[in-house]
Amino acid sequence: MNDVFPVSPPRAWAEINLGALKRNLAVAREACAGELMAVVKAGAYGHGLEEIVKALAAEKIAFFGVANVGEARRIRNAGVETRIYLLGATWSQERAEIVARDWTPCISSLAEAEQFHLLAAAHNKRLKVHLAVDTGMGRGGFVADHLAETLAQLEKFENLEIEGIGSHLPSADEDVEFTLKQFSRFRAIVNELGGTEKFKWIHLSNSAGLLGYEQGLCNLSRPGLMLYGISPLPSFQEKLETVMILKSRVTLVRTLPAGHGISYGRQFVTTKPTRVATVGIGYGDGYPRCVSGKGADVWIRGQRYPIIGRVTMDQMMVDVTANEEITEGDEVEIFGPNIPVTEIAEKAETIAWEIFTGITPRVTRLYQME
Ligand SMILES: *Cc1c(COP(=O)(O)O)cnc(C)c1O
């Protein structure tokens, strides 16, 4: 269709700094003493699965942690051969592929273990699996009673190799006391099951667990969010670098008189003549609409300016009365080093994880190595 007219530049884009990603990985590596499973589920938290795994593939990572088989396939199709760990329960129908391609599942029930065993037997192989233990997350794993018995039963499946043991922290960024108890409970479990000799991989920590706690006998960590530059524990934020800057441009600037409504529902009405910049990003790009009216800012020409009225699907309005120089085409930082994504998340009453994964495919991802 379009070989005559120029391709229009994107109205909203995300600049993703792979150098910062690698430096954040180095921070994780320093904290963990052992090895790393880089968590890249949900398109590497919205940063683009293929590009992120390619950037990290050369960094000596023990595993990539994914949510499902589709993500695992995309990693292989990108030509990356790092081991893949499935962080959650798998469908029965997916297991043949998992076995055939030597991906590593975590095991939460004897029934799934048996199916993996039978499939591995049919391939004449031993599939490496990890024993998942529920020490408080309530989402997966064997509930931590009678685990010795469970392990004994799992060990009867001779086409499985119980290579690792893992558990997950629900409140490492909210409840230190509970998390410390979880660490000691997990240690007691590992010891009860035969100690560190028994498992090649022992893992419990997500980003918050890794940054905020002694790792004890764990020799593998599963950081996600911190790799993308955000610390779930604010006190460690300064150790990390921004990876994604979400940007847009001013598409229009007008001065509206006092008493003029702005955007749907006219929730904002000017009280004085107001220079209003229209910016080319909205909730159709993943900027949360519920932030409307909560006092969120954007960053233009080195200053903050408030969003006024409701965020619409493709556009939002910003009060730029304070700066007469702002003009059509000016770059706008929606979040990044000057407007922390955590600030937007707070105003949206959610978490940075959700803001990142909510950035839609319409937003062009541009990769840089700085
Ligand atoms: C998503 C996830 C992680 C990563 O968590 P972050 O808080 O993003 O570091 C680690 N482990 C499991 C099991 C997960 O599901």
CATH number at residue 173: 3.20.20.10
Collapse the DSSP code of 75 into the 3-class scheme (helix H, G, I; strand E, B; otherwise coil) and give the result. Answer: helix
217 and 264 belong to one structural domain: no
- Taking only Cα atoms into account, the Rg of the chain, rounded to an integer number of angstroms, comes to 24
For the beta carbon of residue 70, count every other beta carbon within 10 angstroms: 10
Domain C-terminal end among 206, 230, 254? 230
Per-residue tens of pLDDT for the chain, all 370 residues: 667 887 788 999 999 999 999 999 999 999 998 999 999 999 999 999 999 999 999 999 999 999 999 999 999 999 999 999 999 999 999 999 999 999 999 999 999 999 999 999 999 999 999 999 999 999 999 998 899 999 999 999 999 999 999 999 999 999 999 999 999 999 999 999 999 999 999 999 999 999 999 999 999 999 999 999 999 999 999 999 999 999 999 999 999 999 999 999 999 999 999 999 999 999 999 999 999 999 999 999 999 999 999 999 999 999 999 999 999 999 999 999 999 999 999 999 999 999 999 999 999 999 999 8
44 and 184 belong to one structural domain: yes
310 and 356 belong to one structural domain: yes
Atom of ligand 1 nearest to the CA of 222: 10
179 and 266 belong to one structural domain: no
280 and 152 belong to one structural domain: no
Catalytic machinery residues:
41, 264
Q: Is there a domain that residue 44 lies in?
A: yes
Cβ of 108 less than 6 Å from ligand 1: no
66 and 201 belong to one structural domain: yes
Domain count along the chain: 2
Query: Of 78, 10, 11, 13, whose CA–CA distance to 368 is shortest?
Result: 13
Q: Is there a domain that residue 210 lies in?
A: yes
Residues 6+ positions from 33 with CB-CB distance below 8 Å: 215, 219
Query: Of 19, 83, 59, 7, whose CA–CA distance to 244 is shortest?
Result: 19
Q: Which of 205, 206, 225 to mutate to test the pocket of ligand 1 (most atoms within 8 A of CB)?
A: 206
For the question of whether the overall pTM of this predicted structure is more than 0.85, the answer is yes
Q: Which of 39, 85, 213 to mutate to test the pocket of ligand 1 (most atoms within 8 A of CB)?
A: 39
Q: How many residues are listed for the chain in this entry? A: 370
Residues 6+ positions from 282 with CB-CB distance below 8 Å: 289, 311, 312, 313, 314, 315, 316
Cβ of 31 less than 6 Å from ligand 1: no
**Structure-block tokens of residue 36:** 């790393």
CA 155 to chain centre: 34
CA dist., res. 170 & res. 139, Å (int) = 10
Cβ of 39 less than 6 Å from ligand 1: yes
Alpha helices (H) along 267-351:
341-347
Query: Of 131, 133, 143, 92, whose CA–CA distance to 115 is shortest?
Result: 92
Cβ of 207 less than 6 Å from ligand 1: yes
140 and 68 belong to one structural domain: yes
CA dist., res. 299 & res. 302, Å (int) = 6
Q: Is there a domain that residue 12 lies in?
A: no
Strand partners, 164: 130, 201
